[in-house]
Amino acid sequence: MPFHRITHWCFVLSFASLALLGCAEDPNVPEPPILSAPAAPSQVAVEQISHTSVRVTWQDNSDDEDGFQLLRAEDGGALQPVASTGADVESAVDEDLTPLAPYQYAVASYHAGGQSVSRLPFSLTLTDQFEEQAPAAPSGFSISVVSQTVLQLTWVDEADDEDGYRLQGGPDPSFNRGSYETFDLPANTTSYRHEDSRLEPPTTIDSRRRIRRGTPPW
């Protein structure tokens, strides 16, 4: 049978119609530790990344949090949780905001012992004239021959916010309209295996974002 450590001994002393109960605790059993709230995050900053979204960053000052809560107030109201992250995270994105509306942000670290909120909420009013910037261009583009009909294309992903990559190539090095093929690849892709019996690989690579979809300028 399983063994359970006894932390209390209790006795009942009975005589006639009277019973006395007495208990004694084991002095060798330690008291459970008191868990204090984790250290509060600091250096909260907010950056607008689209017409209706922002990226909030902070410094993680705790080594025992369970996670973080992103807190937001609208137009001077009370801070309310709008998103949560896991431990050791230092950024979060808040979306579906209203342009020209004022917002305040704070970040709280938390675990079972409580939470600690960053000081001095960061205030931001979204602009309606926001223009998204193109993602960083890839680098280190190279082509290697795998076989007579297979080419391996590789590159270094230098962006962290691209929607995807667009490969274009064909037999005409001048890239006249209609002389090339287009291959759309998902974000974070760093290689492409091209099979072509004509042995004409794609020879340029361009990173793209959703806001730049449409008719290419070439």
CB atoms within 10 A of CB 129: 7
CA distances from 21 to 9, 11, 15, 18 (A): 11, 6, 12, 10
Which residue's structure tokens are 């675990």? Answer: 111
Residues 6+ away with beta carbon under 8 Å from 34: 113
pLDDT at 194: 84
- pLDDT tens per residue, range 113-171: 999 999 989 999 988 877 777 788 889 988 888 888 888 889 999 887 788 888 877 66
CA 25/CA 31 separation, integer angstroms: 12
Q: pTM, whole model, 2 decimals?
A: 0.54
Say if residues 218 and 175 touch (Cβ distance below 8 Å): yes
Say if residues 125 and 101 touch (Cβ distance below 8 Å): yes
Domains of the chain: 42-125 (2.60.40.10), 139-211 (2.60.40.10)
Q: What is the mean pLDDT of residues 90-113?
A: 94
The per-residue pLDDT of the chain, averaged, comes to 79
Lowest-pLDDT choice from 15-24, 33-42, 47-56, 101-110: 15-24
Please give the single-letter amino acid code of residue 115.
Q
